[in-house]
A and B are shown apart, each in its own frame.
Chain A
Amino acid sequence: MNHSEKAALDKDNTLIQPAVMPIGVGQGGDSFINEFGGLVTDNGHASDEIVIKMTDVSKWYGDFQVLTKCTAHVHRGDVVVVCGPSGSGKSTLIKTVNGLEPFQEGEILVNGISVGAPKTDLPKLRSKVGMVFQHFELFPHLSIIENLTVAQVKVLKRSDSEAKQKGLAYLDRVGLSAQAKKYPAELSGGQQQRVAIARALSMDPVCMLFDEPTSALDPEMIQEVLDVMVGLAREGMTMMCVTHEMGFASQVASRIIFMDEGHIVENCSKDEFFESARSERAQQFLSKILDH
């Protein structure tokens, strides 16, 4: 892999300047139809700078292959929605980005840093990649404000007051400043998920990963979480989101990755996906989803 400019790290190996990388698949250039009849283009990116670069990523659980040669680029400011039927590997794919799931083949670069390389300081990398989980996973033994500050203080080494200030600011941003002293069990699902988003944002990440953030929520609470995510997208946060909420996708996504059985079938801009998704599997999926 040639990089025109390496990622800049300060003496503590903290990422201060992301790498500028040459564009893999020419902008607006190489579009092609892959083996599944799916559309792979490079349109719809929000910028030229690549934040997440996955190349031919494959993963096996024992003998069972869960990901096969997955290639995808997420540029700065992109909102990439990863969708597909259950078991297609979407959650597994997104978990490989920050190394929560290891992979056996291929390469993933986040801001120029290789996720799979043995030398990589994974905790440091992960501190700059925010992740929101399906079941919120707030720390139940800590109060809301403690949830927001614990990683800032212990991982990013911020001072208590700075962490608290930042935590409260993001808590206010998601509309929950009144809950700062409460405990997660006292909050509703939608509120907990919004706190989880604030917790990830407090780390000032370079990108945010969402793993089915609304799938465990009661219907009346889905909108409040989606509103926060739409707000984030509109501010230009780089987001990679596994979700079934195609309404959200059609509103703010810049690109769609459609997966089936461990393969990336469609990988194109939002408009291209909704208007001209070619593969049979994508068309089946769309017809089922959009019907209700």
Chain B
Amino acid sequence: MHRTKVRVAEDALDANTTIAQANRADFDREAVRVVNLMSAPGAGKTTLLEAIFREGLGELRAGVLEGDVQGSLDADRLSHFHVPVTQINTDGSFGGECHLDANMVRSALGEVPLDEIDLLIIENVGNLVCPAEFRVGEDAKAMVCSVTEGEDKPLKYPLMFRTCGLVVVNKIDLLPHLDYDIGKLRENIRSVNPDAEIMEVSARTGEGVEDFRDWLVRAADREAALA
């Protein structure tokens, strides 16, 4: 027996990226734009989507791919809104994967009616760490950050805050009850990601939700994105 060195020189996430590109090609073929929506658990992703679908997105036909470790509680909540919702569960391996990767999304694509929608919102597993690493074939990444999480989160999870083009600050209806400095949060987001768009909303009261709706409509506009 002897040892040989085999040169690899490959990004360890290349395999994921290749599958993400295949997903992207499928989305492009069906003219579907894709938003990867991420956050910590309990930041309000599903409540925000409920607020969006309650009013609707006008002409835009949206679908949701719902990622959870287990169960279909979130998908059940969204099923009232006459939007196609597809559930992915990440359990089955090692206590359940804490994020969606490109292959999990790929395996669910057969159940997503791509020909009937213009926009697919992928609600990722609640987690501020791993989802930031794995592309799934999205056009845009957005995150929800709630005011109950503390202003320091961008500095603690810079990978997530740097990867997202939009940060939706949720639960602002709670601000009167909290010692929370939203200016400090904005400053911290700017420190790690100067280009991020920031919007303040309350998914519960509906305040500011139209800003996110407008952003989704813009995200779905292929010509605008190309221009």
Q: Do A and B come from one complex?
A: no
Residues of A within 8 A of B (CB): none
